[in-house]
Amino acid sequence: MKLRLIAIACSAILVSGLTAGPVLAAGPAAAPAPTDDAALRDKAKSAGLQALPYGAGKVTNNPMTHEKIDLGAMLFFEPRLSASGLISCATCHNLSIGGDDNQSTSVGHGWQKGPRNAPTVLNAVYNTAQFWDGRAADLKAQAKGPIQAGPEMNNKPEAVVATLKSMPEYVERFRRAFPGETDPVTFDNMAKAIEAFEATLVTPSAPFDTWLEGDDAAMTSEQKEGLALFIGKGCTACHTGVNVGGQAYFPFGLIKKPGADILPLGDKGRFAVTKTATDEYVFRAGPLRNIALTAPYFHSGQVWDLEEAVGIMSNAQLGKELSGHDAKQIAIFLTALTGQQPQVMVPILPVETKDTPKPKP
């Protein structure tokens, strides 16, 4: 999605009196007041906003090694983890277009449509939990879900292990990634390797990060105005922390529920995980880093314009009707959250053998 960063010029019409006279030229439009960067920076930090750290994010109970990360990269791009042999993690989390698939909901096994929009994998290591409803505690738990989900990759753990063990190169790579284990090719270790790779998929050095670290020139005046509105209007009540969201759960429609096209009645969010009535239509606050790259928006994937999404959230969560100018400026600020995209070389995968299970489209 291309944001329309169109500067609106001011014009003045000078009307003469009853008698004809010379037409006076309008003077230049007044320049916006300069931003007090230090004060705005303090407000951003007080609101809980943080710069994204450099390097891979931290994971728990899964020591990071080069061998494990390299194996995880292969598995991330490996379509034979799916029953059809056609779908990999990268299918729905395309690293060339922001770490998602730019679809309202993803297309999976047998052309089935998934129920929710695929979140970006970029910086997902900084989310408090994975999936819109937080049902996976971390990336290794998340990695197991789509492989087994019928509408997604439609496979079984034992079939995945049989596929991996049928290729000697994978057996050797698992041995090096998980040294000392008598049987390292397991479904759990597959998930740990994918987690290790995904923890490296971070996007530091966004203009906002560079500005927050002290470079006043890293953001434009419009982006700074949008940041001030983002804080002042209350957006940081939900969208804060390193990932500018992804840290807590909130009802979608806290003040005013959006229409059923945006908030489908049949998807009750976190209620499916907790079975607690107060969790109906509760979802994890979406992380906003790289949001300019990841349309369409919301768990339903029904909104394609970032300014429109900003306006919907203000109405639904804050009960405030934003002016077109304010929605636009906040959307312009959000473009400052686009960081350096990870440069990933697509790996060459092992050749299957006569023992490799055949695809089941």
Catalytic site includes residue 172: no
What is the rounded CA–CA span in Å between residue 233 and residue 314? 8
| Tokens 């509105």, located at residue | 229
Q: What angle do CA 235, 238, 242 make, to 5 degrees?
A: 100
227 close to 44: Cβ distance less than 8 angstroms: yes
Q: Which of 152, 195, 222, 225 is catalytic?
A: 152
CB contact burial 127-148 (16+ within 10 A = b; e otherwise): bbbbbbbbbbebbbebbbebbe
Cis peptide before 296 (omega within 30 of 0): yes
CA 147 to chain centre: 20
| Tokens 């109405």, located at residue | 315
What is the rounded CA–CA span in Å between residue 351 and residue 253? 50
Phi, psi of 291 (to 5 degrees): -60, -25
Pick the closest to residue 91 from 110, 104, 114, 108 (CA basis).
108
Pairing of strands 249-251, 282-284: antiparallel
Q: Annotated catalytic sites, by residue?
A: 152
